[in-house]
Amino acid sequence: MYKIIVNNGEQEYTSEGDESVLAALARNDVVLPSACGGRGRCGMCRIRVFSGGSAVTELEEKKLTTEQLENKWRLGCQTMITDDISIELPGQLIGSAQYECTVEDIEDLTYDIKGVRFRMPEGKSIEFKAGQYMQITAPAYGKNKKSVYRAYSIASSPSEKDHLDFCIRKVPDGMVTTYVHEHLNVGDKATLTGPYGDFYLRESNREIIFIAGGSGLSPVQSIVLDMIDKKINNRKVNFFFGACTKEDLYYVEKFRALEKEHSWLHYIPALSNETDVGENCEEGLITDVVDRYYPEFTNHEAYLCGSPGMIGACLKVLTAKGLDESLIFYDKFS
């Protein structure tokens, strides 16, 4: 039996070995952030290892910088327990917890995106920063022999502490999204862990550019609702939402109503694959629309959320027009 010594002895767990730190911690209800299910792809399960554990793998050398490796950062999913191990957990885990929630509502937002509301357990409330995400666990079902979890951004406002809303897009053959879309029903229990993440609104007086695609609308909605709740009305906000066709648009009425009520908010949906986009909607790829909108960036900061491809393309457009990378924040949904 090996010891897992956490944060200088603050916590101690045991392991019989032959498992990763990520798995050993999860057995003890300490759930590291992860979007790839422990496959060494997302780089989110970072911990510091001071002594013990298996040797650094090639995957870790690709995912971590030389500086991070020198500072003892490792991937929790690639660090195997081979002996007693002393580790430090990232600060963002403080305040995150595991909740057994109940599904209160499920609605079709588009043909492949469902809105799901989870009610917090009786007597529990949740604190999070608008823009953060939770991990939703799908239990073992069908061909999946093990439970798996993935990251989903919270779509509701932090002021709503008794429930959490999500927009979940179906990925063909995806483990968690197939579970949510085809097996989860109102009244079911589900395990959620979090909150995690550093995608949140920075304090400044800059104009805000939000760019989202698909389910990337979730954290933007949470931030906008939070700004309304906190009466942050001194910053101009342009929210660009990119979709292929009209069938991919959702919450249009909601954002139209919000922009009517709040003059600082401007909602700009854009369709890339539609010849007749209709009124109040832009035509073209979201990157081209953003490019057309801004001759230059003077006092702006940008928040991007969606597929890695969309984020990469947006980064190019924004930086080419002079927006400093330090003023661009993003969550890649991969």
Task: Give the shortest CB-38-to-ligand FES separation in angstroms.
Answer: 5
Q: In this structure, are residues 310 and 330 in contact, taking their beta carbons and an 8 Å threshold?
A: no
Query: Burial letters for 293-320: b for 16+ Cβ neighbours within 10 Å, e otherwise?
Result: ebeebeebbbbbbbbeebbebbbebbee
- Compute how many residues bind ligand FAD; rule: CB under 6 A: 23
Neighbours of 143 (CB within 10 A): 7
Which is nearest to 64 in space by CA: 78, 52, 50, 82? Answer: 78
Asked if 81 touches ligand FES (CB under 6 A), the answer is no
Q: Cα(182)–Cα(274) distance, rounded to whole angstroms?
A: 29
Per-residue x/- track, 50-79, ligand FES (CB under 6 A): -------------------------x-x--
Task: Give the shortest CB-258-to-ligand FAD separation in angstroms.
Answer: 19
The DSSP call for residue 318 is H
Neighbours of 133 (CB within 10 A): 24
Partner interacting with residue 150 (select from ligand FES, ligand FAD, none; CB below 5-8 Å by kind)? ligand FAD
Residue showing the smallest CB distance to ligand FAD in the complex: 174
170 vs 235 by CB, closer to ligand FAD: 170
Out of 26, 35, 286, 323, the only residue in the binding site for ligand FAD (CB under 6 A) is 35
40 vs 321 by CB, closer to ligand FAD: 40
Out of 150, 156, 226, 301, the only residue in the binding site for ligand FAD (CB under 6 A) is 150
Task: Give the shortest CB-26-to-ligand FES separation in angstroms.
Answer: 11
208 vs 310 by CB, closer to ligand FAD: 310
Q: In this structure, are residues 86 and 51 in contact, taking their beta carbons and an 8 Å threshold?
A: yes
89 vs 175 by CB, closer to ligand FAD: 175
Near ligand FAD by CB under 6 A, which window of 21-29, 149-157, 232-240, 254-262?
A: 149-157
96 vs 153 by CB, closer to ligand FAD: 153
- State how far the alpha carbon of 137 is from the alpha carbons of 150, 176, 211, 321, in Å: 7, 7, 28, 41
Could you please report the per-residue DSSP string of 184-234? --TT-EEEEEEEE----PPPSSSEEEEEEEGGGHHHHHHHHHHHHHTT--S
Q: In this structure, are residues 227 and 203 in contact, taking their beta carbons and an 8 Å threshold?
A: no
Q: In this structure, are residues 76 and 46 in contact, taking their beta carbons and an 8 Å threshold?
A: yes
Per-residue x/- track, 32-51, ligand FES (CB under 6 A): --x-x-x-xxxxxx------
Please list every residue from 152 through 211 that binds ligand FAD, using CB under 6 A: 152-153, 166-169, 171, 173-177, 197
Q: Cα(304)–Cα(291) distance, rounded to whole angstroms?
A: 14
Phi, psi of 81 (to 5 degrees): -85, 110
Please list every residue from 72 through 111 that binds ligand FAD, using CB under 6 A: none
Residues that bind ligand FES (CB under 6 A): 34, 36, 38, 40-45, 75, 77
Residues that bind ligand FAD (CB under 6 A): 35, 37, 133, 150-153, 166-169, 171, 173-177, 197, 215, 218, 331, 333-334
